[in-house]
Amino acid sequence: MEEQKKFGIIGRNISYSFSKKYFEDKFQRLMLKNHFYDVYDLQDLSEIETLFKTQNLVGLNVTIPFKEKIVPYLDELSDEAEKTGAVNCILIKDQIKKGFNTDVFGFEKTLLLHRKDFQDAALVLGNGGAAKAVQYVLEKNNIPYQTVSRNGDLNFANVTEEMVSKNRLIIQCTPVGTFPNVDDCLDFAFDGITDQHLVIDLIYNPNYTSFIKKSSEKGAKTVNGFYMLEQQAEKNWEIWNF
């Protein structure tokens, strides 16, 4: 009898998580009867210490709001995780807990698939764990960007239409508009968006956030976070089975 392999996702208020169904379907397709995937909804990250002691735990996904806070609990970091300071995938092997950032991989594939050459400067909306992966990819691809955050010098109250029209790549990295709060939307200078823009919203549930709908009304090409999610999930699977 093969021993069990356990996987899961940690986050807060994550009953909507895509990962459980994605990986359970995968186990079924690959006929892996001894693989299990659980949702660990943690109110406090210190609970992770107990979770790490779970027998046969091989890998974890990490989501909001723990992508950055998890780092001190790990033994090693991949290059991307170290440079971004954010982790969304953990491998537990020989009692060593190593953090990876596969959001980087997923976002880069999404960006390269959709971006046109004239979309050559970006506004990154938000400054959390997901934004860190986006900033890393933009730097890697020599795309200049500015970060708009609630409390930064550049914030949602002072971004002008002119600034929006000059930056033809807009990446929405905040959780605003995620299910169940689907009517929520960032306060943003949408009138600066044109048909020359590519707007990527990392949210995948709902498919079309208010932010995407408003951008689309201005003629922008819009992409949600689903492809990025699939790509990072596949990368996680690769890491866990290395």
pTM: 0.92
Higher pLDDT, 98 or 16: 98
Question: How far apart, in whole angstroms, are the C-alpha atoms of residue 32 and residue 5?
Answer: 9
> Which residues make up the CATH 3.40.50.10860 domain(s) of the chain?
5-101
The mean pLDDT of 3-12, rounded to a whole number, is 95
Does the domain at residues 104-228 carry the CATH identifier 2.60.40.10? Answer: no
DSSP assignment of 125-143: E--SHHHHHHHHHHHHTT-
* Nearest one of 225, 232, 19 to 126, comparing CA atoms: 225
Active site residue 97: no
> Which residues make up the CATH 3.40.50.720 domain(s) of the chain?
104-228
pLDDT digits (tens, 9 = 90+) for 147-178: 999 989 999 999 999 999 999 999 999 999 99
Catalytic residue chosen out of the listed positions 67, 109, 132, 235: 67
H helix or E strand, kind and range, residue 122: strand 122-125
pLDDT digits (tens, 9 = 90+) for 220-236: 999 999 999 999 999 99
pLDDT digits (tens, 9 = 90+) for 182-200: 999 999 999 999 999 999 9
Question: How far apart, in whole angstroms, are the C-alpha atoms of residue 179 and residue 18?
Answer: 12
Torsion of CA 114, 119, 121, 127, to 10 degrees: -30
Q: How confident is the model at residue 215 (pLDDT cuts 50, 70, 90)?
A: very high
pLDDT at 1 over 70: no
Question: How far apart, in whole angstroms, are the C-alpha atoms of residue 227 and residue 233?
Answer: 10
Q: Looking at the DSSP assignment, which residues form a beta bridge with residue 223? A: 200
Hey, which CATH number is domain 5-101, 3.40.50.10860, 3.40.920.10, 2.40.10.10, 2.70.210.12? Answer: 3.40.50.10860
